[in-house]
Amino acid sequence: MAGTPPDPARLAARIEAHARALGFDAVGFAPARLDEATRARLAAFVENGFAGSMGWMAERMAQRGDPATLWPAVRSVIALGLNYAPPGDALATTRVPDAGNISVYARNRDYHDVVKGMLKHLAQFVVNEGRRAGLEAEVKVFVDTAPVMEKPLAQNAGLGWQGKHTSLVSRQHGSWLFLGEVYTTLDLPQSAPSGGGCGTCTRCLDACPTDAFPAPGVMDARRCISYLTIENRDPIPEALRPAMGNRIYGCDDCLAVCPWNRFAQATGHMKLAARDDLRAPALCELAALDDAGFRARFSGSPIKRIGRNRFVRNVAVAIGNSGQAALRPAVAHLCNDPDPVVAEAAQWATLRLPA
């Protein structure tokens, strides 16, 4: 008697149930392909220079735009989301001039490590379940660092839609989802669309301090505070510095004003909940960090990857925007910093502070 043929829908349901048991807040399935319009938007982003110094966007554009170019055997993408919504006002610290504002996602453990660990557990489950169904499943896991267009894939998998701020918006979690993917050789049924949309709302576009959106759904990273404070190694353009305020690592303004956030619950993942010392760290303390002090304070944090010099450059700009004469000594000693980018930012800050 012939064996029962594998039921892809049942297999997908078991995978989803296990993913949620692992702690993922959103799960969906999509074919491992992207449409031509998505690839065209990626190409335009690069060709218009909007990627700034992120040369890797152009170098691996073919793989980014087509999952099968990255891994020819892939058939389906399991898209996962992890809620990191804060319990209160995400922008509260931006109104505290003598403190530095750190993006919500970076106030505790590095989410790359958290999500990847969960993805590996799920990937092993996918392999085992495939075997139980008589299928040999291969898997690969990705979170942010690989050439994967996470947001379009998540949209195709029914996790939400790409908002006008270019990030994913979820009906249940607003703009507060970390994304990760399991690529697999299994053929799994596509999830239903999430529904929802932005309508005529432009709150995210209007909220951007540096006008980084030349059009809805289009970002010029060269003007984005997240890019300027994290990816950019050079001096921050002077014209953009005043608008940065006290944002020293990343920026949440466009995410935080999204109306869909009213449905989001504060994250229950302890590794993603803010550390007390990173909610509103004193700028004077951060300006005093040497390399060893920086590495100790940000051990296990995504902030550690940008290094002391880039971080202290950001702190100097925030001090220059603070209007606090009391912070002058904290930045004055940086005017002769061995790193010329730090020294220049400190000199700029000193000239802006009241005597």
pLDDT in tens, 72-129: 999 999 999 999 999 999 999 999 999 999 999 999 999 999 999 999 999 999 999 9
pLDDT at 7 over 70: yes
Do the domain assignments include residue 242?
Answer: no
pLDDT value at 144 more than 50: yes
- Please say which residue of 123, 153, 184 terminates a domain: 184
Q: Do residues 32 and 153 both lie within one domain?
A: yes
Calculate mean pLDDT across residues 166-172.
Answer: 98
Query: Do 45 and 180 belong together in one domain?
Result: yes
> Residue 6 has what pLDDT?
82
Each residue's pLDDT tens digit, 299-335: 999 999 999 999 999 999 999 999 999 999 999 999 9
Number of domains in the chain: 2
Average pLDDT over residues 230-238: 98
Give the whole-angstrom CA distance, residue 214 versus residue 33. Answer: 28
> Per the domain annotation, does 224 fall within a domain?
no
Catalytic residue among 98, 144, 187, 339: 144
The arithmetic mean of pLDDT across residues 14-25, rounded, is 98
Report field, pTM of the whole predicted structure over 0.75? yes
Which residues are within 8 A (CB) of 338 and not within 5 positions of it... i.e. 6 or more apart? none
In a domain, 227, yes or no: no
User: Percent of the chain beyond pLDDT 70?
Assistant: 99
Domain that holds residue 313: 282-355
Same domain, 180 and 319: no
Which of 128, 149, 184 delimits the end of a domain? 184
Q: Is residue 220 part of a domain?
A: no
pLDDT given at position 3: 57
* Cα–Cα–Cα angle for 309, 252, 306, rounded to 5 degrees: 20
Distance between CA 169 and CA 192 in Å, rounded? 16
DSSP string of 241-268? HHHHTTEEE---HHHHT-GGGGGPPPP-
Q: Indicate if 38 and 159 belong to the same structural domain.
A: yes
Note the pLDDT of residue 106: 98
> Looking at residues 124-143, what average pLDDT do you find?
96
Q: Which of 140, 167, 184 is a domain's end point?
A: 184
Mean predicted confidence (pLDDT) in 338-348: 98
In terms of domains, do 171 and 295 share one? no
Alpha carbon 45 to its chain centroid, in Å, reads 18
1 has a pLDDT exceeding 50: no
* Residue 145 binned pLDDT confidence (cut-offs 50, 70, 90): confident
111, two tokens = 């989410």
Q: Averaged over 258-280, what is the pLDDT? A: 96
35 carries an active-site annotation? no
Residue 152 lies in a domain: yes
Whether 316 is covered by a domain: the verdict is yes
Report the chain's mean pLDDT, rounded to a whole number.
96
